[in-house]
Structure 1
């Protein structure tokens, strides 16, 4: 060191750089942090040291807690589960333990805490005890760490904490100490970084703006500075960090340096951004559903009047409104689908249950689609029991039959369509089977979703809502609906309903 100073003086400037491994006032570093409870446990789990942060969070003075087992911090019912022994066993075996749960203060009140326990070993690997870091997450405030114990225990504790970067800066803002957590988060070894300016960890734009100097000045003037922002690792990648900078002063008030606590919150930030995107997507869906509901209601009134006029013309035989009437009825059906989607989205899909014959509903569906079946060259067959009765909403199940039969005639035009109805104790079921092109395996998981279809919309009309509404109606009855490939080609839709 003397040679180094002599060479520096020969250049006209006396420079004294901190040496790696030089004695660091670790007690001052940890004691200055009051937002974290940091303390040592013996290998048996007995409290061996206590810091200001621990007293502030838990309420015990050192004389009240040192020498007691750390189980006093846990609710009695939790202690009975053996959690204390489990945490120490895991820490001893794996090197660390992290968890969250309720802890108890001296006054009996409970708070939600994040706890990290780290095994502390000497150079031979002998277990000396455990370093425990507790953070009060009740108000989600980052804490400052502190311990009151011997210099050796503080040194071991600081060097073994891996989830936080804990390091000292000298009064000029140069790194004076470096722990394992700082190396893990920032990527630099102690040899590489000690003596470096705090600005080394900031993006170039923040350095140009004088942000590191501003933080040092605020901490010096007010005692503390806290913020969240981007930091730079050794490899040039960025991470989102929460940083607390605390001024360290001696008994005379002279500035001795700064304690810096940094935590990598990149994953939490990603989670926050993902939640924001989800909220925005949900709001977009809500606005879409609201628009569809308003549009459907606005279209319903003039459509009803148009249908009445066309039906009146048909009865009077003044003209042949057949094509117009069919188009109006189809449009009215689409409007009703949109209204049903709106009811489902707002939880207003109601059922009016009565005694219903499922076989009769199948016959009605065949009659309703008889003209369409003839037009596309398909035959609709009915098989199964003669009568299957249960308590259901007849109008809603008519929708299910109509959607399934209508889809079969649309997508499997020219092939036979078979409806099978059967009943057994407490349960009824029906199938609609076609011999069309079938449904690809990649489409099976989504065809019951809103506005989804297995075939491109340019080939077939519709909104892609029929199967979605069918599923909602069936599930509202407490039943299930599914689809599988028909042997020999085609698709088979199966519905199972409870009779009551």
Structure 2
């Protein structure tokens, strides 16, 4: 096929076809019938249909035979027919030449659609109306969308208008107010017609406006999208209120700034309430401080008056009976006791103020607790027993041993007095690692000494004052109120702290935290940093490595017993953590037995999720870690295995 010939023939024939189309008397009908998105038809002067295009058939559902000769009003709703709308539109078009409108129209099947329609008068050469041209377009979807949008805007405006405790208004990019809600009128005092068009800088004080605060706020909101601030704002009547302000930038679909939304809340009452509360707290603090000082002064005066009375009367008796050596010796002995009591009173006060002279020594807490327990036996009633719960791997501490013993004795004697009907005092000690800095303690290694009783507990209203000097719940003459304050002061001066927990009717736990001796505690940590994890599940292995790394250990991992033995030959490992069920010729229990034989000082933890494996591990005396486990359980198992290793080493020595 010769394309060039066909193309040439087409180009040659095109003028002929164009002329034929232009000369066709039906060319306009052909054009109108080709339009299917518009109903285009003719009406006579009375409004009866005389022509009908395919678009009209498509939109309204009538075929030409059904509609030609019928009146225009059949397309209107009954309500509009009753109101004479069709005839009025025809009269308007005949008079003015054109009538345009929108409304509901009826299709042949009775359904409705929203129509945009235009009626144009058709005139002859003399200008007389000989009919009408009617064009109708179905814009239902656009109409419904506009209605939904209008309804949404109406509801949004109603919502904004109903907000009474927030001023919400819009501004243009120059800061001029363009909308105004009821809350804005209530808070700022302006009616809508008084403020729309004015700049929002009207709400700022003269000083704030001179500092360009409104401009700064708009620039920050434009840059960041949002700007929040607090400060004084001015109402219409000139009064001031403390405002929380949020300024949001508004952007169009092209990300161009078109304005701002400003939301203002009056928080004057809240600020005043906060200030009142702070003032009340300050007054309460001052009152409590003065009460504590008064109690301290009264306690010191009371005790020193007793001491002075003893010294004075003893000195007078000594003067009177100077020849009676035995009697003088007794009264001089009373003077010495009073002086020693005064010395102890002074030491307690110095301990609380953390200004006593300490003589720290490197010591083992367990030795101190044994000594305290022996000393307590003579001070306790027969219905009170002592129980010791002392960990075997305690870190040493560097503190004044005498002050430590005195602190523990003071707490134990308080515990004794809290159990009038007898009970149990537990002396407990354990290592305690603080990972992050706390309110009164730095991160580090500590030894925690706790004295636990099952006595009457401490009333809630008295718990804030238990460490105050001379504060006591005991009867007059039954205690000085200096025991716990001495213990607290000693702990703080030693670089540690003291805390307690108590439940009325169930007992109290008093705990002293003392920093571990750095060189030995760090040595222990370093010894615990080399861990080998044997786990064939790669996800569990990764998690175990992450948990142990976070806890400060150096961690390696592998998936089989043979890989573990190869690593142990090459690297120094302190702790083996192995799953019992691992692939290969040797399971985890067999690996543990082989490691024990070849590296007897290495600590071993066996992990398992099976009861049978648990029995095997217990029989082999290995530390067991049950699956699933978390970070706390994993580290606790490692610490337990290290304690077992130390105990076994001591037995061998």
TM range (shorter): 0.3 to 0.5
Greater fraction helix = 2
Larger Rg: 2
TM normalised by structure 2 equals 0.33
TM normalised by structure 1 equals 0.41
Higher RCO, 1 or 2 (CA under 8 Å, sep at least 6)? 1
